A = this chain, B = another copy of it.
Amino acid sequence: MRKIAIGIDIGGTNTQIGFVDQDGKVYLETTMSTTLGDTFEEYLVELHKVIEDAIEGSEEKFDIIGVGIGAPNGNYYKGTIEFAPNLKWKGVIEVTKLITEKFGVPAVLTNDANAAAIGEMMFGGAKGMKNFIIITLGTGLGSGIVVNGELVYGHDGFAGELGHVIVEKGGRLCGCGRRGCLETYASATGIKRTAFDVIADRNQETLLSKFSYDDLSSFKIYEAAQNGDHIAREIFRQTGKYLGEALADFVANGSPEAIFLFGGLANAGELILEPTEKTMEDSLLHIFKNKVKLQISQLNEGDAAVVGAAALAWKEFTA
């Protein structure tokens, strides 16, 4: 029997499921729609069925040590998903309680960025590190902070909202209702907004001028920059500038050993790393200069969320 933790990543559209061993190796991987059923209980019936089917369809036998769940607005302390704007279940959902009842194994839950942090620590580039942060650059900007070898959940379970520090007073309107949040500049959406700003400001020739706002994406800006488009490179520079300044402030607080960039925008590699690192180093307080490693996450983006969620279960139920 192979000992595994089930990692479940609940996204707005799809739920990813994977069986992950103690070394981070993924054995069974499957996907289902998150929108199945009207209630979380109905969704859970489907989820249980998908997992049972996967186990039955496999030649291997598994010993399940527990379930780890990554979900938006996931609260680690309470095991709940609370008022998640991108999920159809409203209010407070008692996820770990219901999963434990259904599956008969212990369950633990956190948000996706925290799950990525645990994944990076157990299976990625943060192995052996006690103080680091991972920044997820997707539609928004999430962060998972590790201090003294432990994830920072804060008093209420919602710590790590680096995407919502204010980097520009009176700046861009954020989905949270405030203005100037980091994620309105540094995220897959943020870089698109910067693209429109820069194009408007420069009014110069660029490969990007043929795209509507709907058609533009961080990947298209990346492609243009790779093709030597000066405007696209300037867009990355400005994005890295905002991110680098915010990271310098974070370093003043937490003095991490490393900062990992993950997901979406992080796939641009040096294009985002280089301006971010330059600005961060220029902005750092003297005692922190040339100490903090800025790196792309070593997790495989395809299954990082599932592996991270499973890593949380491994940490929680075997440590």
| Known contacts A166-B249, A283-B166, A152 near B161 by CB under 8 Å | no
A97 located at the interface, meaning its Cβ lies under 8 Å from any Cβ of chain B in the complex: no
Flag if B165 contacts A256 (CB, 8 Å): no
Flag if A286 contacts B177 (CB, 8 Å): yes
Report Cα–Cα, A177/B154, bound state, in Å: 32
Flag if B161 contacts A253 (CB, 8 Å): yes
A103 located at the interface, meaning its Cβ lies under 8 Å from any Cβ of chain B in the complex: no
Flag if B145 contacts A148 (CB, 8 Å): no
Please indicate the chain B residues that have their CB under 8 angstroms from the CB of A159 in the complex.
131, 253-255
Give the contacts of A216-267 with B (CB-CB under 8 A): 245, 248-250, 252-257
Please indicate the chain B residues that have their CB under 8 angstroms from the CB of A43 in the complex.
none
A173 located at the interface, meaning its Cβ lies under 8 Å from any Cβ of chain B in the complex: no
Give the contacts of A121-174 with B (CB-CB under 8 A): 130-131, 143, 145, 147-148, 150, 152-162, 164-166
Chain B's closest residue to A82 (CB) is B287
A2 located at the interface, meaning its Cβ lies under 8 Å from any Cβ of chain B in the complex: no
Flag if A150 contacts B148 (CB, 8 Å): yes
Flag if B152 contacts A148 (CB, 8 Å): yes
Flag if B250 contacts A161 (CB, 8 Å): no
In the assembled complex, the CB of A95 is this many whole angstroms from the nearest CB of chain B, namely 18
Chain B's closest residue to A154 (CB) is B255
Flag if A176 contacts B255 (CB, 8 Å): no
Flag if A255 contacts B153 (CB, 8 Å): yes
Chain B's closest residue to A253 (CB) is B162
A285 located at the interface, meaning its Cβ lies under 8 Å from any Cβ of chain B in the complex: yes
| Known contacts A150-B148, A166-B283, A176-B286, A156 near B249 by CB under 8 Å | no
Please indicate the chain B residues that have their CB under 8 angstroms from the CB of A253 in the complex.
143, 145, 152, 159-162, 165, 250, 253-254
Report Cα–Cα, A291/B156, bound state, in Å: 9
A178 located at the interface, meaning its Cβ lies under 8 Å from any Cβ of chain B in the complex: yes
Please indicate the chain B residues that have their CB under 8 angstroms from the CB of A155 in the complex.
130-131, 255-257, 291-292
Flag if B158 contacts A256 (CB, 8 Å): no
Report Cα–Cα, A287/B163, bound state, in Å: 14
Flag if A161 contacts B285 (CB, 8 Å): yes
The 8 Å CB contact of A255, one of B158, B165, B178, is B158
Please indicate the chain B residues that have their CB under 8 angstroms from the CB of A143 in the complex.
253
Flag if A154 contacts B286 (CB, 8 Å): no
Flag if B288 contacts A158 (CB, 8 Å): yes
Report Cα–Cα, A161/B292, bound state, in Å: 15
Which among A154, A249, A287 has the greatest number of chain B C-beta atoms within 10 A?
A: A154
Chain A residues at the B interface, C-beta cutoff of 8 Å: 130-131, 143, 145, 147-148, 150, 152-162, 164-166, 176-178, 245, 248-250, 252-257, 283, 285-288, 291-292
15 contacts between A and B (CB under 8 A): A147-B154, A148-B148, A148-B152, A148-B153, A152-B255, A154-B255, A155-B292, A156-B255, A156-B287, A160-B253, A164-B252, A165-B249, A166-B248, A177-B286, A253-B253
